[in-house]
Amino acid sequence: MTHQNISSGITPLVFTDLDGTLLDHHTYSFEAAQPAIDFLKGAGIPWIFNTSKTLSELLPLANRLDNQHPMIVENGGGIALPQDYPDADLSEIANSERVPGDSEHPTADGYCLVTLGAARKLIIEVLADMRSSFAFTGASQMSTSAFAAVTNLDEAQSGLALERYFSEPLIWRDSEQKLSEFASALALHGLHLLRGGRFVHVIGNSDKGRAMRWLCERCWGQADNGVVTIALGDSDNDVAMLEASDYPIVIRSPVHPPPPIKHVSVRISNHIGPAGWTEMLFGVLDELGYAVPAGKDYL
């Protein structure tokens, strides 16, 4: 079996959400995605995490999956580029865009962190001015154990989730009406709200879609071959990424209906989570001329 692309002229890039997409919603297993992961590695196709998680949370997973590609973190707020990534021209990235690594943040070692939205430091400054008008508790005001209690993470995981550079999760303690006033006030500072399950997240002027486009341009913009983006996600916070991609794939969730996607080519997996990930990636790669495993034997 060959992994060569027989229809020359196409450079596919895969952008993937993690929870509920590459990872099973309940168990966080990626076992059912392994056949497609192996295929991507064999074919030399970049596969890029595009997630709400922090870099510190992602490093152990990237290690386990042997993924050495850039990572889009904190819902598109920033990008972690491996320092020695062959496709990236880091000299093009202005110092002002970088988050300097230091001894306080050793997990940034080996990566160049690029701010696409706003630095968390700035977000926290803006929020400090709003405390007198709105009731909320920011993650930066919470201890690791308080954060662990809210998220059901253990202390260690909680610590990794709190190592943030580009966003601030809040527990909202005010009315819905006040939340929309809050959003308008944030917009004046170039910040916006993203609603999650437990938190509302304050981030800069970026999202998963904008981060995907930024990375394509900076790393593969000069590619001789035509770049096509394949995006996979299961939730509302994946919509911007899916709508900005060439091949948007909604991965079916066991807990919520597929989000509506405004794109003529959207497709929805039959299988749930990582099994849907393999199913749909093999389908698209087959259409792009790759010799994917035949039939459904891989599931």
Interacting residue ranges for Mg ion, rule: CB under 5 A: 17, 19-20, 234-235
Give the nearest distance from C-beta 21 to Mg ion in angstroms.
5
- In degrees and rounded to multiples of 5, residue 274 shows phi and psi of -65, -25
Residue 215 or 242: the one with the smaller Cβ distance to Mg ion is 242
How far apart (Å, rounded) are the C-alpha atoms in residues 90 and 80?
11
Known active-site residue 236: no
How far apart (Å, rounded) are the C-alpha atoms in residues 109 and 116?
19
Exposed/middle/buried for 299, CB within 10 Å: 0-12, 13-18, 19+? middle
Give DSSP secondary structure letters for 14-53. EEE-TBTTTB-TTT---GGGHHHHHHHHHHT--EEEE-SS
By Cβ distance, which residue is nearest to Mg ion?
A: 20
Give the nearest distance from C-beta 25 to Mg ion in angstroms.
8
The strand ranges marked E within 44-166 are: 47-50, 71-73, 78-82, 98-99, 111-115, 136-138
User: Using CA atoms in the order 249, 80, 142, 156, what is the torsion angle rounded to 10 degrees?
Assistant: 90
Give the nearest distance from C-beta 233 to Mg ion in angstroms.
6
Residue 206 or 253: the one with the smaller Cβ distance to Mg ion is 253
Long-range pairs for 83-87 at CB < 8 Å and ≥24 separation?
83/110, 83/111, 83/112, 85/219, 87/46, 87/219, 87/220
Residue 196 or 293: the one with the smaller Cβ distance to Mg ion is 196
| Cβ atoms within 10 Å of 107's Cβ, excluding its own | 18
Residue 31 in tokens: 């076992």
Give the nearest distance from C-beta 67 to Mg ion in angstroms.
17
CA-wise closest residue to 78 among 275, 215, 176: 215
Residue 114 or 239: the one with the smaller Cβ distance to Mg ion is 239
Residue 105 or 267: the one with the smaller Cβ distance to Mg ion is 267
How far apart (Å, rounded) are the C-alpha atoms in residues 286 and 282?
6
> Which residues are within 8 A (CB) of 286 and not within 5 positions of it... i.e. 6 or more apart?
292
Residue 87 or 234: the one with the smaller Cβ distance to Mg ion is 234
Give the nearest distance from C-beta 241 to Mg ion in angstroms.
11
Residue 138 in tokens: 């920011």
Give the nearest distance from C-beta 51 to Mg ion in angstroms.
8
Catalytic one of 17, 24, 207, 234: 17
Which active-site residues does the annotation give? Answer: 17
